[in-house]
Chains A and B, each alone.
Chain A
């Protein structure tokens, strides 16, 4: 299902997060941790209405630079937990949705970029990838992109959904397509 993982990084106080999560999502489970980063799986039933609210709550209670990333579960197909955890502290602190986070990682770390690119290429067939580039070229206009690709509009929409399902990347957003542009164009 459409389960989410929340990645949290703090420089000093990671401990209180654990009790916090019990207060916020009683069913949540920590599924990976390093001394400064926690990966917490949130079951769909407890999905926060707006994960940015959670970021703000934590910020106002902890008062230190923290980073919070809201990642769909499929995101773990793109990068190992180790590499995610390594990249987070190097980014400017703040709240990131998944797509924006990937763009930042791609910009900051050429070697991680290579890994993400390789992983996407192994999950998605080349047609899907080139379709996404076409979609970008047609300014996210599905009808125009579909006719240029000689496929039915619904086919293209189906493929976009399938990209999201397999990689977690929402290509209905500008930022999602930008990831494909940065990696494959």
Chain B
């Protein structure tokens, strides 16, 4: 089993740096959990507390029912994988994988069996006698994983394991890690600053900022129902657009002279929550801004005139950066080549996909049926 429970975990480094504040999380057996957030938000610190490499200032960490705050790292039944191709250069692949077990004085035949099993899983059987120098980048990375697998640990801890790789290998290794997890199902906590990595790999994502958890959820939950402005802006590329304006008392969002009509359900909810006549931040993802006529005819009251700033053709899509009412907005539309700088174009917001954030609390205003939708 690999079940972890973080109860009010806090880390204050000496010198009074609060790196992690009130971290609460239940990790299920076999889950692939990704901690994601900008550099310095406390991801590695949290992982190092799980590993036992960093003392826990406050709170409780429970692994498989046992409080481990004071349990030394070797007795926690975890295996760590760090960013690296790093292997012992003068040892064979076999010895690289076996080394941790040798240090633990496991019997020779057990070591051989475990290394052979891991090599089988990773497709390294024919490479066991090679030195790291004679391996490709992807093979080396697999050996690094093999070093963790042979330990039969209950939990894998991975701190940006792919960050040193070139883009192509990174994508390939991402897929390989997912496959590996499907196969051996070891509970994994994976740390990255790369939200794409988080979105593609995680069962659940923990978004962190400034030492605080901002949101915990499946990739689609975090994408479709961001808790706050930070999560909305951090998850997704290009990022969610945030447009400042205010609501009137009649179901419109006003940006200077532009008036956009809200769908009835959205407006009823906002009104009920007291946001009529209030300053708000309107959030909309680039793919929810359209240029085709069908959508324009469906939402005639959400069509807006823009002036084009940049149009980037990216294969099957075009990212249009355009301005209206002094605010820059990015729209992702189907590929088109007929757009030039300073053109005036009409775009339409899919208002059913709109989000409204309270600028004071930074929180997103929840929808009425949201809990039901999210659990579907």
User: Using a CB–CB distance below 8 Å, which chain A residues touch chain B?
Assistant: 13, 16, 20, 22-26, 50, 53-54, 56-57, 59-65, 92-93
Contact = CB atoms under 8 A, between A and B. Distances in A.
Interface bracket on B = 20 to 34
Given A24-B88, A64-B74, 15 more contacts: A23-B91, A23-B99, A24-B90, A50-B86, A53-B84, A53-B85, A56-B83, A57-B87, A60-B80, A60-B147, A63-B80, A63-B100, A65-B53, A92-B14, A93-B53
Interface string B65-86: 0000000111000011111111
B53 A54 contact: no
B90 to A, nearest CB: 5
A145 B144 CA distance: 46
A16 B89 contact: no
Nearest to B90: A23
Nearest to B82: A56
Given A64-B74, A92-B13, A56 B88 contact: no
Contacts of A26: 90
B134 interface: no
A60 B88 CA distance: 12
Nearest to A65: B53
B73 A65 contact: yes
B100 A61 contact: yes
29 contacts: A16-B103, A20-B88, A22-B90, A23-B88, A23-B90, A23-B99, A24-B90, A50-B86, A53-B84, A53-B86, A56-B82, A56-B84, A56-B86, A57-B84, A57-B86, A57-B88, A60-B81, A60-B100, A60-B147, A60-B148, A61-B99, A61-B147, A63-B72, A63-B74, A64-B72, A65-B73, A92-B13, A92-B14, A93-B53
Given A23-B88, A26-B90, A54-B86, A61 B103 contact: yes
B95 interface: yes
Interface of B: 13-14, 51-53, 72-74, 79-91, 95, 99-100, 103, 147-148
Contacts of A22: 90
Contacts of A16: 103
Most chain A C-beta atoms within 10 Å of own C-beta, residue among B52, B72, B84: B84
A48 to B, nearest CB: 9
B375 to A, nearest CB: 38
Nearest to B148: A60
A47 B61 CA distance: 39
A63 B51 CA distance: 8
A109 to B, nearest CB: 14
A8 B90 CA distance: 20
Contacts of B100: 60-61, 63
Contact of A62 (B82, B86, B103): B103
Contacts of A13: 103
Given A60-B79, A92-B14, A23 B95 contact: yes
Nearest to B86: A53
Contacts of A62: 74, 103
Contacts of B82: 56, 59-60
Query: What 7 pairs between A and B have smallest CB-CB spacing?
Result: A53-B86, A56-B82, A63-B73, A63-B74, A61-B100, A60-B80, A23-B88
A24 B103 contact: no
Contacts of B80: 59-60, 63
A102 B341 CA distance: 54
A89 to B, nearest CB: 15
A54 B84 CA distance: 10
A26 B84 CA distance: 21
A153 to B, nearest CB: 33
Nearest to B81: A60
B327 to A, nearest CB: 35
Nearest to A94: B53
Contact of A64 (B73, B87, B88): B73
A111 to B, nearest CB: 19
A135 B40 CA distance: 28
A24 B99 CA distance: 12
A25 B82 CA distance: 21
Contacts of A59: 53, 80, 82
A149 to B, nearest CB: 33
A62 B72 CA distance: 11
